[in-house]
Amino acid sequence: DAMVIQNPRYQVTQFGKPVTLSCSQTLNHNVMYWYQQKSSQAPKLLFHYYDKDFNNEADTPDNFQSRRPNTSFCFLDIRSPGLGDAAMYLCATSRGGSAGTDTQYFGPGTRLTVL
Amino acid sequence: AQKVTQAQTEISVVEKEDVTLDCVYETRDTTYYLFWYKQPPSGELVFLIRRNSFDEQNEISGRYSWNFQKSTSSFNFTITASQVVDSAVYFCALSEMETSGSRLTFGEGTQLTVNP
């Protein structure tokens, strides 16, 4: 089945220790998104890639970076995690075609704990 | 600016009851898309429906139905004969269409608990 995969599902890191979250997709979608979701809140878009074009949200902290080495994979790097970065991180993909077809499909998420 | 409001933070029902989740949106766009997603305790956001602004027909899918009313900027979601497995957080979202993909504006979500 075509899907969005996130690894690991649970990640524990130490305050200030860099961490990388991974997302892969078998949908062959052009667009990949990263969201941060804190407890009892709506997902918040951090950035997205349309193919290789990176689109950062204006309020995304510099501490968050992303890489997309190929169509299938996208990584979220947190350079120096703080306690406030503990959250669920959701990856999503969409075809990126004409407006009416662009539905985002989400992966299962990675829950990040910062000690 | 776009905005989605889900006024019901939490709803609790007993199994087999019908339940309606409200969603009200604001946008200046004439073309837009509305979505509902389900987020069970496992965390994954599951796509339920997409509706474009030109199609005001209501939709039914099994026990789920959606009522889109452009005049009141509402896109409500009804679950008929609710089941325990329907317990989840439900998000309504509005899409801002861009050439580089879509940007979703989410509501704050409604936590639905269905008790046996």
pLDDT digits (tens, 9 = 90+) for A60-84: 999 999 999 999 999 999 999 999 9
Supply the pLDDT for residue B53.
87
Residue range A102-108: average pLDDT? Answer: 91
Where is B61: in which H helix or E strand? strand B59-61
- Give the range among A25-39, B17-31, B53-67 with minimum mean pLDDT: B53-67
For residue A96, is pLDDT > 90? Answer: no
Question: Do residues A55 and A43 lie in contact, with contact meaning Cβ atoms separated by under 8 Å?
Answer: no
Interface contact B12, partner A, CB < 8 A = no
Confidence category of residue B31, pLDDT binned at 50, 70, 90: confident
Confidence class of residue B55 from pLDDT cuts 50, 70 and 90? Answer: confident
In contact, B53 and B31? CB cutoff 8 Å: yes
Q: Say what the pLDDT of residue B58 is.
A: 85
Q: What are the chain B neighbours of A103 within 8 Å (beta carbons)?
A: 35, 47, 50, 102
B78/B22 Cα distance (integer angstroms)? 9
Place of tokens 């969005």: A4
Cβ A110 vs Cβ A19: under 8 Å: no
Given A53, A104, A105, which is nearest B100 (Cβ)? Answer: A53
User: Are the beta carbons of A45 and B42 separated by less than 8 Å?
Assistant: no
State percent of chain B over pLDDT 70. 96
B10-44 burial string, b = 16+ CB within 10 Å, else e?
ebebeeeeebebbbbbebeeeebbbbbbbbeeebb
Number of separate helices (H) and strands (E) present in chain A: 0, 11
A2 or A111: which carries more pLDDT confidence?
A111
pLDDT for res A65? 97
Q: Are A56 and B103 in contact (CB under 8 A)?
A: no
CB atoms within 10 A of CB A61: 12
The Cα–Cα gap between B47 and B56 comes to 19
Average pLDDT over residues B6-10: 96
